[in-house]
Amino acid sequence: MIFSVKMLPIRLLLVSSLALLILILCISIFMQVPIHQQIQQNYSRELVEKLIENHRSFRLIPTILWAVVNCWLLNKFFRPTQNLKYLQRR
């Protein structure tokens, strides 16, 4: 298999997960919250479409990547045989 879990060290996965989470939170706080506030003040279809476009353009891909990285981490930690080997190395 080309992309094996063994090829990615745990630290890289953890740092990637944290970086993606920070990116997602920054996009939410600095790009989407202001649009939500504008929608609360005066609702318009254009603002809702802008919010949806913003989500598709800037937030969807990092969220999918974050989910993939977290699945890799879960796979790495919840495999019984690999988990025992990893703990024995310490």
Q: For 2-43, write each residue's pLDDT tens digit.
A: 555 566 678 888 899 999 999 999 999 999 999 999 999 999
Between CA 62 and CA 13 the distance in angstroms is 14
Q: Which comes out higher in pLDDT, residue 4 or 44?
A: 44
Nearest-CA neighbor of 59 among 27, 26, 37, 20?
Answer: 27
pLDDT of the residue at 89: 60
pLDDT cut 90: percent of the chain above it: 62
Between CA 59 and CA 73 the distance in angstroms is 21
- For residue 90, the number of C-alpha atoms closer than 13 Å in the C-beta half-sphere is 4
Q: What is the pTM of this model?
A: 0.75
Dihedral Cα 32, 34, 39, 40, nearest 10 deg: 120
Q: Tell me, what DSSP letter sits at residue 36?
A: H
